């Protein structure tokens, strides 16, 4: 199980525990679908911001753009997790944006899509 799948599962168990109900775990596909899609949306928003031209973009710039995407799309604990993932992955994502790797493919490479 990839990192992000495990993360999603952890959130789900956490949520289920505090809802004081018996956790019924859906399949991996159901769990990871939304994060896979969210990853693509975030990357596509960043592409739009930079007009898909990452030639002179630095890792620091990309990291800050992705932080903004985290803040727009998540709250609280999941927003913090999003920032942490950005710290981990920004340097790896930049060259892929620079060589026109598709958003879906990048999200697969970064384990958002299982």
- Interacting residues with ligand NAG (CB under 6 A): 53, 55-56, 95-96, 99-101
Cα–Cα distance between 74 and 106 in angstroms, integer? 20
CA distance linking residue 101 with residue 11, whole number of Å:
30
Q: What is the largest CA-CA distance in the chain?
A: 51
Residue closer to ligand NAG (CB basis): 31 or 62: 62
In this structure, the dihedral spanned by the alpha carbons of residues 104, 108, 113 and 114, taken in order and rounded to 10 degrees, is: 140
Minimum distance, C-beta of residue 26 to ligand NAG, in the bound complex (Å): 32
* Nearer residue to ligand NAG within complex by CB, 18 or 56: 56
**Nearer to ligand NAG (CB atom), residue 21 or residue 100:** 100
């Amino acid at each position: 199980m990839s990192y992000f799948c495990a993360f999603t599962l952890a959130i789900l168990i956490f949520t289920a525990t505090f809802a004081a109900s018996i956790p019924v775990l859906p399949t991996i596909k159901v769990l990871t679908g939304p994060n896979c899609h969210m990853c693509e949306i975030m990357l596509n928003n960043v592409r739009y911001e930079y007009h898909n031209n990452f030639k002179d973009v630095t890792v620091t710039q990309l990291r800050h753009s992705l932080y903004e995407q985290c803040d727009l799309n998540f709250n609280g604990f999941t927003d913090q997790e999003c920032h942490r993932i950005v710290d981990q992955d920004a340097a790896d994502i930049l060259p892929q944006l620079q060589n026109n790797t598709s958003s879906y493919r990048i999200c697969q490479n970064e384990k958002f899509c299982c």
